[in-house]
């Protein structure tokens, strides 16, 4: 039994690809929360609301532009790239926000507007006054006639008649793809690139995790082309990527390229341009599919989407801060979309629809859930637009795209809890529509059936499953109202079946290649009959219903040869089994391991879900851990949840066979077995040391604390303390330390003081002779406000004098 514990190396792992498993939340500082009641949201307000975002479960925040700006395009008209708009706070406020977000594990993505500046930017003011042909003038694109590049389309077609505007100061026309107050930078000029790279360094050095590259297809112009997606533009992006990779590995570039899939995919290069790009054409097709009650638009666009280079990832979305753009659809499709989603011409702007998600979908909860389920399960990193998680309304009587940029609604207080300012002072009015005025976070937090709670559960579900990082395969049945697909990554497979129709449907799925797999419905954890090669799998779905099934390899039946331990992939050794992907696999392995244990009390009940409530590192303060003391939360299909105490240790696969390994950890430096560490001498010694030295070890949600009694010193001093396991009883496991001490590990953790430990403590304090005296206990104290962990208080473990009195 005295197998050496294996120390697992800690290597930089998957963290570099964080954006592939992210859930992004898009917000504008100005509209989120106002801390100083001047009617404008600010960084302090946002920082105060980080708890909310963490609780929602998103993993990254994308902030719309917050730089000094005349705000004629909501900040996309930048006047200074290296400062904070004073209305939103100071640079200190920004840095505090960034730190607070990082402390919560939230990444931060900001805007990099490469294509144009505001006409108030110093570069433009300098350019228009500088002599023609000078480097200063050449920061922008000038012409004596407005006739150049006639094939370039006009994007803001409701506002601009030409991409050229006359500047009387320069005495020349300047080029602009957007508003005429947004002159395009001249990327032919190497000085422009140098300045931009400096700006990139400025923000990445500060710690920003990712940059959204605004309007990226338009950097270069060439006569005879539409001036989009030019080879020169791709060259510039490759140079930017090289620059970032050399200095800031692990940061992310996200391309905003509103293009057809084959043009959009070019922004990934060969894995040497952007890490991510928005999938614009997919977005309207999600809306088309539900409205037409037909999977065709969705399946078709994904079939047209080329595969991505390694490490690349789409960003997918339902709504954002702009109009729902209809540029990437055919004319007929656009007519259809206008007809069904924007009957009121007031709702239309440019080539799109200025509405939020809930009003677009007639505030139909089932449809809102359905499209969000698609967002969270189709290939790509989901981007959620602020307010859509509570089903906020819009106001298309406000100008431009302000319909969807109104203040976040926090509560039923004045201004929706956004600000205490006089309502007339707000940067935009709060939604007052009778149907949507009452929508707010506070009301929905207190109702577990609200959209907000549904979103939280679905975001949580998505994050637990790595299959969403992997491939997609459609199961095409005869019934086109039903969309079915399998997502797969490494060992995990998830089947998604969605009824796009407002009528109940049944579907017969061809599952021949999935023969024998057992579907587990992921919201209620009900096991469905196995898939079979013999016959189609028949499912019935209510209106706009959808199912998410994990497809499991069936459990071996009694009498089958012993199944090999489940595998956990970790490129990060020990730590990796507690990180997102490893953690899910560990939890699944534990769900199989626990019912086999004598001390597992709920044997007769079925496990719904196992989660690692907390894990505390054991061993020397510095160096590698000898193990972890874990609190394992077990949800059961019926009855109260339970929490178990499980020390984890690892040993090398070839050291010696273990009769009940929990899992095998693959990757890193060779495979190791993860085992119950209750009989591991190194773990036992580490636990005793915690008590003897009165040490504290912090976990994620609380901390372990050793509490020695005075007697411990006497009992331990000068004695042989070689640990020897005494085996597991019904509810605990014991280890003897030489002749002097016995350690008892209580397997089931209860809130409050363990009665046995408390009794032992009381009696030994009173000097009772005939009970084992408590020489110390190990306590777990839950941190204030930590997620619900049932174990707390004294009594995870105690050490006793073995033979007392007598
Ligand atoms: C795309 C942004 O999303 C939009 O809001 C902005 O107006 C244009 N780029 C111009 O910067
Ligand atoms: Ca403010």
Alpha-carbon gap, residue 113 to 55, rounded angstroms: 31
Higher pLDDT, 408 or 749: 408
Q: Of residues 14, 214, 633, 709, which has the active-site annotation?
A: 214
- Please choose, from the candidates 791, 760, 789, 763, the residue with its C-alpha nearest in 3D space to the C-alpha of residue 777: 760
Q: What is the pLDDT of residues 687-716, one digit of tens each?
A: 888 888 888 898 888 888 888 888 888 777
Q: Please confirm, yes or no, whether 587 is among the known catalytic residues.
A: no
Alpha carbon nearest to ligand 1 atom 5, residue: 322
Q: What is the pLDDT of residue 794?
A: 41
721 HSE (CA, 13 A, CB side): 21
Q: Whose CA is nearest to atom 11 of ligand 1?
A: 76
| For range 536-547, the mean pLDDT | 98
- Pairwise CA distance, residues 586 & 615, whole Å: 12
CB 76 within 8 A of CB 182: yes
DSSP structural state of residue 606: -
**What are 255-269's pLDDT values in tens digits?**
999 999 999 999 999
* 8 A C-beta contact, residue 32 and residue 46: yes
515 annotated active-site: no
For helices 331-341 and 282-292, the axis angle rounded to 10 degrees is 60
Looking from the CA of residue 178, the nearest atom of ligand 1 is: 10
Read off the pLDDT band of 798 (50, 70, 90): confident
C-beta of residue 459 within 8 angstroms of C-beta of residue 468: no
Query: What is the greatest pairwise CA distance in the chain?
Result: 108
At 624, phi and psi to the nearest 5?
Answer: -85, 150
Q: Does pLDDT of 718 surpass 80?
A: no
- Comparing C-alpha atoms, which of 804, 801, 747 is closest to residue 770? 804
Please name which of 582, 579, 558, 554 lies closest in space to residue 569, comparing C-alpha atoms.
582
Given a cut of 70, is residue 55 above it in pLDDT? yes
CB-CB contact of 516 with 534 (8 Å): no
* pLDDT tens digits, 113-149: 999 999 999 999 999 999 999 999 999 999 999 999 9
pLDDT confidence of residue 277: 98
Residue 486 has pLDDT above 70, yes or no: yes
| Cα 490-496-500 angle, rounded to 5 deg | 155
Distance CA 369, CA 542 (A): 13
- Return the H-helix or E-strand segment holding 338: helix 331-341
* Mean per-residue pLDDT, 558-565: 69
Asked if 403 contacts 394 with a C-beta cutoff of 8 angstroms, the reply is yes
Which carries the bigger pLDDT value, residue 771 or residue 464? Answer: 464
Whole-number CA gyration radius for the chain: 30
From the centroid of its chain, how far is CA 360? 25
The pLDDT value recorded for residue 790 is: 38
Q: Are 56 and 389 in contact (CB under 8 A)?
A: yes
Q: In which residue are the tokens 């020349």 written? A: 172
Cross-strand partners of 763: none
CA distance 155 to 140: 19
Neighbours of 181 (CB within 10 A): 17
Kindly list the distances between the CA atom of residue 781 and the CA atoms of 610, 614, 698, 757, 803, in Å, as whole numbers in the listed order: 21, 11, 9, 15, 30
**Residue ranges of the alpha helices (H) in 538-680?**
573-576, 580-593
Residue 516 pLDDT more than 60? yes
Of the bound ligands, which one is closest to the alpha carbon of residue 28? 1
Position 558 pLDDT exceeds 90? no
What is the per-residue pLDDT for 572?
Answer: 78
Ligand 1 atom having least distance to the Cα of 113? 11
In this predicted structure, the answer to whether residue 4 has a pLDDT above a threshold of 60 is: no
DSSP 185: B
Q: Kindly report the pTM of this predicted structure.
A: 0.77
Q: In whole angstroms, what is the distance from residue 418 CA to residue 407 CA?
A: 6
Q: Whose CA is nearest to atom 6 of ligand 1?
A: 76
Distances (CA, A) of 572 to 7, 121, 435, 569, 578: 12, 46, 50, 9, 10
3-state secondary structure 95-126: HHHHHHHHHCCCEEEEEEECCECCCCCHHHHH
Burial class (CB in 10 A: 0-12, 13-18, 19+), 47: buried
Q: Is the CB of 184 under 6 A from ligand 1?
A: no
CB of 221 within 6 A of ligand 1: the answer is: no
| Catalytic-labelled residue, pool 42, 256, 488, 801 | 256
Task: Using alpha carbons, select from 219, 237, 238 the residue that is nearest to residue 228.
Answer: 219
pLDDT digits (tens, 9 = 90+) for 576-628: 888 878 888 899 899 988 888 888 888 777 888 899 988 999 988 887 888 99
């Amino acid at each position: 039994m005295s197998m050496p514990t294996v120390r697992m190396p800690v290597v930089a792992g998957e963290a570099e690809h964080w954006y592939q498993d992210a859930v992004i939340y898009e917000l504008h500082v100005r509209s989120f929360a106002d801390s100083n009641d001047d009617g404008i949201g600010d960084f302090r307000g946002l920082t105060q609301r980080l708890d909310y975002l963490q609780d929602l479960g998103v993993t990254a925040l994308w902030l719309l532009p917050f730089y000094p700006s005349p705000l004629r395009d909501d900040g996309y008209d930048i006047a200074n790239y290296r400062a904070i708009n004073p209305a939103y706070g100071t640079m200190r406020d920004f840095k505090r926000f960034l730190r607070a977000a990082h402390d919560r594990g939230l990444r931060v993505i900001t805007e990099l507007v490469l294509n144009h500046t505001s006409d108030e930017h110093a570069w433009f003011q300098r350019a228009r006054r500088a002599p023609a042909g000078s480097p200063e003038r050449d920061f922008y694109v000038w012409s004596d006639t407005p006739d150049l590049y006639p094939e370039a389309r006009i994007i803001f077609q409701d506002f601009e008649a030409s991409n050229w505007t006359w500047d009387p100061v320069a005495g020349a026309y300047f080029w602009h793809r957007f508003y005429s107050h947004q002159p395009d930078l001249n990327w032919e000029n190497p000085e422009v690139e140098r300045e931009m790279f400096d700006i990139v360094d400025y923000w990445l050095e500060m710690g920003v995790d990712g940059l959204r590259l605004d309007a990226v297809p338009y950097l270069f112009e060439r006569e005879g082309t539409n001036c989009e997606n030019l080879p020169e533009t791709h060259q510039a992006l490759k140079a930017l990527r090289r620059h970032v990779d050399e200095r800031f590995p692990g940061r992310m570039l996200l391309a905003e390229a509103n293009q057809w899939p084959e043009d959009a995919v070019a922004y990934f290069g060969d894995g040497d341009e952007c890490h991510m790009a928005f999938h614009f054409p997919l977005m309207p097709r999600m809306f088309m599919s539900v409205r037409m009650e037909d999977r065709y638009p969705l399946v078709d666009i994904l079939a047209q989407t080329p595969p991505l280079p390694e490490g690349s990832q789409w960003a997918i979305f339902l709504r954002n801060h702009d109009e729902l753009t209809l540029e990437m659809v055919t004319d007929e499709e656009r007519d259809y979309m206008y007809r069904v989603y924007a009957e009121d011409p007031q709702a239309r702007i440019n080539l799109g629809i200025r509405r939020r998600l809930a009003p677009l979908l007639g505030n139909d909860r089932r449809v809102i859930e359905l499209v969000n389920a698609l967002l969270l399960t189709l290939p790509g990193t989901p981007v959620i637009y602020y307010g859509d998680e509570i089903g906020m309304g819009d106001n298309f009587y406000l100008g431009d795209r302000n319909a969807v940029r109104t203040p976040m609604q926090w509560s039923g207080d004045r201004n929706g809890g956004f600000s205490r300012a006089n309502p007339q002072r707000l940067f935009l009015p709060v939604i007052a529509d009778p149907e949507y005025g009452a929508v707010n976070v506070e009301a929905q937090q207190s109702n577990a059936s609200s959209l907000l709670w549904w979103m939280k559960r679905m975001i949580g579900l998505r994050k637990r499953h790595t299959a969403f990082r992997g491939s997609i395969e459609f199961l095409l049945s005869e019934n086109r109202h039903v969309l079915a697909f399998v997502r797969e990554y490494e060992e995990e497979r998830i089947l998604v079946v969605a009824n796009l129709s407002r009528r109940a449907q049944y579907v017969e799925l061809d599952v021949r290649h999935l023969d024998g797999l057992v579907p587990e419905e992921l919201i209620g954890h009900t096991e469905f009959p196995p898939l079979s090669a013999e016959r189609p799998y028949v499912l019935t779905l209510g209106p706009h219903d959808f199912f998410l099934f994990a497809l499991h390899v069936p459990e071996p039946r009694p009498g089958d040869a012993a199944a090999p331990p489940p595998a956990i992939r970790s490129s990060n050794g020990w730590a990796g089994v507690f990180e997102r992907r490893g953690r899910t696999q560990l939890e699944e392995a534990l769900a199989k391991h626990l019912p086999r244990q004598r001390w597992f009390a709920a044997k007769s009940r079925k496990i719904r879900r196992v989660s690692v409530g907390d894990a505390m590192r054991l061993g020397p303060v510095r160096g590698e851990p000898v193990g972890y003391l874990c609190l394992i939360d077990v949800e059961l299909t019926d009855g109260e949840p339970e929490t178990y105490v499980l020390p984890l240790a690892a040993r090398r696969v070839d050291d010696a066979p273990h009769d009940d390994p929990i899992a095998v950890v693959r990757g890193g430096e060779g495979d190791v077995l993860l085992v119950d560490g209750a009989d591991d001498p190194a773990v036992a010694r580490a636990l005793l040391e915690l008590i003897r030295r009165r040490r504290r070890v912090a976990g994620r949600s609380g901390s372990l604390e050793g509490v020695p009694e005075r007697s411990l010193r006497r009992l331990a001093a000068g004695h042989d303390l070689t640990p020897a396991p005494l085996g597991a009883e019904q509810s605990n496991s014991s280890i003897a330390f030489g002749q002097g001490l016995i350690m008892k590990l209580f397997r089931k953790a209860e809130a409050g003081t363990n009665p046995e430990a408390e009794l032992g403590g009381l009696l030994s304090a009173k000097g009772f002779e005939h009970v084992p005296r408590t020489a110390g206990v190990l306590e777990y104290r839950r941190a204030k406000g930590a997620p619900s962990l049932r174990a707390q208080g004294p009594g995870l473990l105690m050490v006793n004098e073995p033979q007392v009195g007598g």
